[in-house]
Amino acid sequence: MGRGGAHGAGGPARAARLLDLPPQGAGVSAGALGPQPGDHGGAHAPAAAAGKRRRLPGDCAADPGRDGEPARKRPGAWRQAGRSRAAAEGSPSGAAEPRGLEQNGQRPDGGSAAAERRGKRPSAEPGAPGPVSGGAARRLSRRQRRNKQKNQRRQENELQAGPGGERGAGGRAAAGPDTLGPPGLAAAPLERSAALRARMEERLLAARFRYINQQLYTSTSREAAQLFQSDPEAFEIYHRGFAQQVGRWPENPVHRIVRYLRRRPTSLVVADFGCGDCKIATSVKNKVHSFDLVPLSPLVTVCDMAKVPLADESVDVAVFCLALMGTNLQEILEEANRVLKQGGTLMVAEVASRFEDIRAFVNAMAQLGFKSVSKDLSNAFFHLLEFAKAGPPRRRPATGLRLRPCLYKRR
Ligand code: SAH
């Protein structure tokens, strides 16, 4: 999704750079479907059966690292923390020793508190008089000194870039000491401050994506429609982020649905609820009604999926591919029931970790008039459920119709 020319200024490469986000949305093999502690809270049945819960690349809010990497793989993370601490502690260099980490005997630079202790006088050994304080305790290894110097240089460069890192036309700083020095010397700091700026931009966009995503999963479909109407840029940001997330999965569920439709008669009429960039409509020969809140493609009919402009019992296949987002799930699925012909197919592809209790969900679907035909829980990122319309919905709350919001953690 989001893939496609409608992404406007900057294009996909820029979008990819700016929205490097964690793939916390999805996917699991049957054994790893469960939520994680602090994730959606609660245990996923297959995971529970397996006796343990793997961290999955696609789990919603499962991955605390930034940009799809676990935090421990982020060499910059400790530095950031160290710098903030340094600032808070008034360190002029910004090269604070990572004291918090020292407590665990760990050093971000790969060293350890133990290594530091090795450099201490015997008096610091167990049984000797108490720990050496002040300067002696802070004796730094050669590696730590190098890191400290590096941090100092970095901070100086950031200062040279000026507030906001303003730049002149040629990518050089508009003003500042580095413009006065020899060009060779100025280039490296400038590059570094440009990189810093890009990183900040990236984080801002990632934060916006997380916010919009959260809005979509925690509000009704009507509120989501209002959000995108009042802020079309929000839609663009959301779709860039979405595309990036799903692009990291080994398989995109929309391709599974396309393959499924290609095996069925082309005469079947399809309704794609929350169609995004209309991948389905552009991939099959069937007549496809594509519904979304904002048109990423001219094929989109703009509407709230809880109220689509289709006659009763007019479609053969209704699809929700990663699109069951609003909190008014029942209303949305009742709408799908309304437009589906008796015996028609409902396909639901949804992020695996969103399901609290798959059996309860399937039972709730039965109350809404959908009989389970098949469940494919084999993908680590998403579940693919097929239902057939058995009749009209029972007009009362379908208990068990719960999906966790697919939220992303800040990385
Ligand atoms: N099905 C597509 C897109 C999934 S992203 C795919 O798999 O590639 C979810 C899509 O649902 C987004 O495009 C979002 O705009 C849309 N959506 C969310 N709430 C909606 C609503 N209430 N009505 C219509 N579309 C909605």
* Nearest CA, atom 14, ligand 1: 274
For residue 269, the CA-to-ligand 1 centroid distance in Å is 19
Any ligand 1 atom below 6 A from CB of 325: yes
Any ligand 1 atom below 6 A from CB of 212: no
* Nearest CA, atom 13, ligand 1: 276
Q: Distance between CA atoms of 319 and 322, rounded to whole angstroms?
A: 9
DSSP string, 154-217: HHHHHHHT-GGG-B-TTSSBSSSHHHHS-HHHHHHHHHHHHHHHHHHHHHHHHHHHHHHHHHHH
Res 85: pLDDT: 38
Instruction: Dump pLDDT digits (tens) for 313-343.
Output: 999 999 999 999 999 999 999 999 999 999 9
Instruction: Dump pLDDT digits (tens) for 144-194.
Output: 888 888 888 776 665 454 333 333 333 333 333 333 445 556 677 888 888
- pTM for the structure as a whole: 0.61
Give bridge partners of residue 385 from the DSSP assignment.
348, 375
What atom of ligand 1 comes closest to residue 221's alpha carbon?
22
Any ligand 1 atom below 6 A from CB of 319: no
Instruction: Dump pLDDT digits (tens) for 40-78.
Output: 333 333 333 333 444 443 445 333 233 333 333 344 333
Any ligand 1 atom below 6 A from CB of 224: yes
| Side chain identity, residue 169 | A
Any ligand 1 atom below 6 A from CB of 382: no
Which residue bears the tokens 């794609």? 272
150-183: burial string, b at 16+ Cβ within 10 Å, e else? ebeebbebbebbeeebebeeeebbeebebeeeee
86 pLDDT more than 70: no
Q: What percentage of the chain has pLDDT greater than the value 90?
A: 40
Q: Distance between CA atoms of 251 and 248, rounded to whole angstroms?
A: 8
Which residue bears the tokens 């008014």? 328
Any ligand 1 atom below 6 A from CB of 358: no
Res 34: pLDDT: 30
Q: Distance between CA atoms of 1 and 238, rounded to whole angstroms?
A: 10
Instruction: Dump pLDDT digits (tens) for 126-149.
Output: 333 333 334 444 577 888 888 888
Any ligand 1 atom below 6 A from CB of 279: yes
Any ligand 1 atom below 6 A from CB of 347: no
Instruction: Dump pLDDT digits (tens) for 188-235.
Output: 788 888 899 998 988 888 888 898 988 899 999 999 999 888 888 888
What atom of ligand 1 comes closest to residue 274's alpha carbon?
11
